[in-house]
Structures are given as C-alpha cells and as structure tokens.
Structure 1
Amino acid sequence: MAELAPGEKAPDFTLPRDGGGTISLSQFRGRPVVLFFYPKDDTEACTIEAKDFTAAKADFDAAGIALIGLSPDPVKKHDRFVKKHGLGVPLASDEGLETLEAYGVWKEKSMYGRTYMGVERTTVLVDAAGGIAEIWPKVKVKGHVEAVLEAAKKL
C-alpha cells in the first residue's frame, strides 16, 4: 500500500461506531476532520490519546473541526472503552481493516523481536473539501492533540 500524502483525496469510509449506527467521512464534507488511528482500546497510550482528544473536543468543536477515532477493535469493545473512560469522541470500528489499509496505517510492527501486523498510531487532518491537509505518522501522544488543533485551526 502506497503512503498517502498531503494534497491527495482522503479515502472515504462508512464504518460501525460506538453507541450504534455508522459514521462516514463524507458526512462531514464542508468542515475539517481529524482522524486519529490507534492500535487498541484500553491500552495506556491509546487511553491517554482518546482522553486528550475528548478533553480538547470543545476547542475542536469551536473551530468547526470534527474528530473520529479509528481502530480495528469491535464496536462492543469501543462501547466499554467509552463508558470506562468517559470518552466524548466517536470511535469507528474497522474490523475488516479496509479503511486502515486505505490510509496506510495497517503495518508490520515489531516488539520484543516478534513481528506482527498492527495499527501504526497516525493522525490525518482532512480539509473541508476532503483532501489530506497533514499527516502525523508514528504519533507520540504527549502534546500531540495541541499540535493537531493548532494545525487544524489554520485550515
């Protein structure tokens, strides 16, 4: 899978989401969207990232920017994650991996000498016209949400 780059059209998707129903990138056309791809519900870094985006949601809302978290976890797991941590951002479930692969974030990873496939923590800023404005690969969680908000406000 080729890497996506700023200036390219963001792949559309419709996925099941926490709380029931579906969420699509196209339903937000006309406003910027932050997609944060994360490996797994209820792990330390993923929890911090989701809580940080939830804490900043009012600032994103005030700037007219939508937030969507995406992982391969099933909806039931998302529901437990949202309830346990009081999350306020929609979480999309991509169990089939199509969207994760389309965005180039489903990658070979290694830990303790073992290689496996998983989500590389990545954030994609999509502009109001549906184009990719910016990509943050291999995200380090600390201070990340502030950097994304700053970039998104410039659109």
Structure 2
Amino acid sequence: MAVSRRAAVTGLVALGLGLPAIRGLALPASRPWLPRPVELASGEILAASRARLPFTAAESRGYGYNQTSPGPLIRVRKGEEFRIRIANHLNEETTFHWHGLICPTEADGQPQNPVLPGESAEVAFPILQRAGLSWYHPHPHGATAKQAWHGMGWAVSL
C-alpha cells in the first residue's frame, strides 16, 4: 500500500507534537529564537559585515549585514523605486544578489560584478512586480556557499 506525501507529513507532525508527552523525553525548556529583523528604509546603507550569529546557544561570529544576522528586512512596493547604498565591510569580495526581484543584470549582484573590500555603490531600479517575499544573499564567485552558510542572507518584502 502506497502512502501519500500528505499522510506521511501529517503522521510525522502528529508524532512530533506527541513526543514531549512521552515519559522520559523532553524538549529543552529554552531554545534560541531568531531575533525580529530591523527594517531598512529605502536609501539607507546595507553593509556586508562581520556579525554575531544567534543560531547557537554559544556566542559565535560569522557574516551578516549591518552587523546582524539575519540582516535587515527591506520593504518595497510595486511602482516604487528600489534605491539602496551597498557597502562591503568584509576582508573579501562579495556581491548583493536580489533573489526573486526583477531587476537589471548590472544591479543584480552577479559574480562578475563583485564589490571589493572597502567599496560601496548605489543600486536603484523600479519595482515592477506584484507582492511577494524575495531574499538577498551574496553571490561572489567561489565563495557564495561559504558566505551564505556563515550568516549572510535575508528578505525583501513586496
């Protein structure tokens, strides 16, 4: 008998909800929660930087934006101009890729257009798409996974 994907997921969720009630099994009383991100207004600076990572109970350092990880939330609306100043405060090159936003190639943080350490630039383009949730992350050649894994990436809300 084949089990549907929906039945399997429902069963796993039900099992997960029942586990704390089983004697001898308990979930930790306090787990770290991700902080609510600050919002970045249009025209402000978004800087790739070192940041404290809240993902573990122990204090750890990694990468982020504006010294936080997750980075700031950026809200834009259809018909508005997306305008932001990007800066690289890391000791290595990075890019700012607007994943899911419809934008010109030269503004989209492609690996062939890195932002070198200490450099900054302005990115501007019109928002022509409907509401959604997109995200930004680094896309430097050969270092995308490393930078994203170490904390860089967050959301753009339309």
Structure (1/2) with the larger helix percentage: 1
Instruction: Give the TM interval when normalised to the shorter protein.
Output: under 0.3
The answer to which structure, 1 or 2, has the higher relative contact order (CA under 8 A, 6+ apart) is: 1
Q: TM-score, normalised by structure 2?
A: 0.23
Q: TM-score, normalised by structure 1?
A: 0.24
Give 1 or 2 for the bigger CA radius of gyration: 2
